[in-house]
Amino acid sequence: MLIKTMQVGFIGTNCYILTDETTMKSAVIDPGGDSNMILNYLESNKMECVAVMLTHGHMDHTMGVDNILRETGAPLYMHRLDWAPPKSRVMDYRYAPDAGVDCRFYDEGDVVEIGNLKVRVLHTPGHTPGGVTLVCENAMFSGDTLFRSSCGRVDLAGGDASTELASLKRLAELPGDYEVYPGHMDTTTLAIERVYNPYMVAALNGVTEF
């Protein structure tokens, strides 16, 4: 398993390219801009994009989606609750793909195969209603649910503090440890966040609002 991190878009969102090194099939996770840079990386490394996967629908995670889909022919995976119909003029947490896009909705427990890799979907709302965390082997792509020592905002449209805390508690209670690849800021581990992330610690202690 190969993971490439690229900071893209107008606020440097973390886009991840997840690749099965045996087949060189890849998933692009949260292409929030700079689609040509992402496509050039795929081409120069002879990787085949077979999926674009969204952790949620905010603009800073989706601005590069349409071009990558056009150039690669890959399907788009996202949660239905963050989806809007094509040509919708939405300015909140929902993403409206181009008409004709092969958009596939995933939800809790679904598995997407990327070559020999299996990506498991956890529905982790709170930052947005359709927020998901993607888990592959020992890697967790947490989007804007979990950050290093922090968590996603809940004061924007679709956000909810109690739901966010429930999602953080759910992640904290997963067995074992994971490398955490968040939507912004640096990578971390779940073991570190269980101890030092004040929001996750609060969630584990039964706090339901912040």
CA neighbor of 20 nearest in space, from 4, 7, 5? 4
Which domains can be identified in the chain, with CATH numbers? 2-86+99-204 (3.60.15.10)
Q: How many Cβ atoms are within 10 Å of 88's Cβ, its own excluded?
A: 12
Sheet with 48-53: list strands edge to edge: 2-8, 13-20, 25-29, 48-53, 76-78, 103-105
Residue 87 carries which side chain, given as an amino acid letter?
Answer: K
Sign of the Cα torsion 188, 189, 193, 195 reads negative
How large a percentage of the chain has pLDDT more than 90?
Answer: 96
Tokens of 87: 């040509």
The confidence score (pLDDT) of residue 89 equals: 87
Cα–Cα distance, 143 to 139 (Å, whole number): 12
pLDDT digits (tens, 9 = 90+) for 113-148: 999 999 999 999 999 999 999 999 999 999 999 999
Q: pLDDT (tens digit, 9 = 90+) per residue, 28-73?
A: 999 999 999 999 999 999 999 999 999 999 999 999 999 999 999 9
Neighbours of 55 (CB within 10 A): 31
